[in-house]
Amino acid sequence: MGVKALLVTVLLTAAVGYYMYTPLPDAIQEPWKLMMVDAGIRTAMHLASLKHWLGLDHSMMSFRQSLEGLESTVKRLVSSESSGRVIPGVKISDITFAGIPVRVYEPPAGGEGHLRRGMMYFHGGGWALGSGKKGAQDAVNRMVSDELNTVVVSVEYRLYPEVLFPVPYLDCLAAAKHFLSPAILAKYSIDPERLVVAGDSAGGNLAAAVAQEISVDESVAVKFSVQALIYPALQALDFNTPSFLQNQHMPILPRHTMVQFWLQYLGADLSLLPQLIVNNHSASQNSGITSELRSRIDWTTLLPQKFKKNYKPVVVEKGSQEILKKVPGFLDVRAAPLFAGPEVLAKCPRAYILTCEFDVLRDDGLMYARRLQDAGVSVTSEHYEEGFHGSFSFIFWPVDFDVGKRSLRAYINWLQNNL
């Protein structure tokens, strides 16, 4: 190899390394693997932004397609059988519930006289990405169906930019009510006393919101007995909680990306992002936010000291009074379940809430666990000190992490014992 070729190789290698490198906490296991995953996601996002700038496609739709391409590449690296994604005997049906596309997983066991557990699952992806029919979500639902003798219904709710809030929530609610109807429970031999609504990230948001609405809706005779929330997003007024500050640059979900997801979901102008980052939309003099509402997301009282660390509240005195008027969804409990009153929380089903230390959404989940407990609801709070956002989905080679496998096993074991 000539000197010039060697120099070019060294420079390219250094450039790739610089692009991939992201400082990570010492507690993160296999940091370079996480850096590689993050680099792939950032590359897909950059390409999507470029296509949007060129007028070729909407950035989020392009990003969605790029992520699907990455997933297809991973699938080609390893067969489904070796990764455990195919579960013999689990019957898969792609149908609709109340007009909403769903995938139904039926376990091989059961039959007449043998009632089974029932689960409704909402996938994550910032209300803009993802599908319950693909990747880890599909694999986990197959495992739950098989191991726990559970009929799992994964909902394909509509996504941004095709729709905005409250459409995804209404899709999930409609599917849930259909699922809980006596006719459907009888059709699938589901025990009406062993029903769980679950979801991860944005799906956890939808699961919590649906659980609340079903709990207080007197027209729904059968209720969910359990809610299982995997690092849920539950509020959009304070983007300076300790976890948002501590993990603002962490893969897979940096703070600015989560704020962007919220703006998109609520149909707000993305130019508002800098104001939300500094909490200008939740100023102390904003007449639309009562002291009672603030107390429901007050991390200074709701978080244990070990999570508060030395962080201080970021409260702007005046800020922008117009943001909440233009985007009322910020205060809508259907979008932000953490705002629910204690009278609503008291009626909610017992909960399993998984949180990760290196996740901007950590404190949302921890605050919700505390508020549910204060309302008298039984809560299992599962926290992973070395966990990061998305780790629950990284369970198959070549993007498998030990914390993901352990959290998945704990989730299944808890459902086994509590549903």
Identity of the amino acid at 248: Q
Q: Which of 66, 131, 201, 391 is catalytic?
A: 201
Q: Which of 138, 359, 363, 364 is catalytic?
A: 359
For residue 108 the two structure tokens come to 């091989």
Q: Say how many CA atoms lie within 13 Å of 227 toward its Cβ.
A: 33
Report phi then psi at 242, rounded to 5. -55, -40
For residue 330 the two structure tokens come to 């910020």
Cα 160–Cα 262–Cα 199 angle in degrees, nearest 5: 75
Q: How far is CA 154 from CA 93, 151, 201, 323, in A?
A: 10, 10, 15, 34
Q: Which residues pair with 103 in a beta bridge?
A: 94, 154
What 3-state class would DSSP assign to 371?
helix
201 is catalytic: yes
Cα–Cα distance, 282 to 327 (Å, whole number)? 12
Q: For 173, which DSSP code?
A: H
Cα–Cα distance, 141 to 134 (Å, whole number)? 10
DSSP per position, 246-283: HTTT-SS--HHHHHHHHHHHTT--GGGHHHHHTTGGG-
Closest Cα to residue 255, out of 270, 273, 232, 268? 273
Q: Name residue, tokens 């996740």.
A: 359
Residue 258 CA to chain centroid, in angstroms? 11
Q: Which of 389, 391, 393, 407 is catalytic?
A: 389
For residue 140 the two structure tokens come to 């986990």
114 is catalytic: no
Residues with active-site annotation: 201, 359, 389
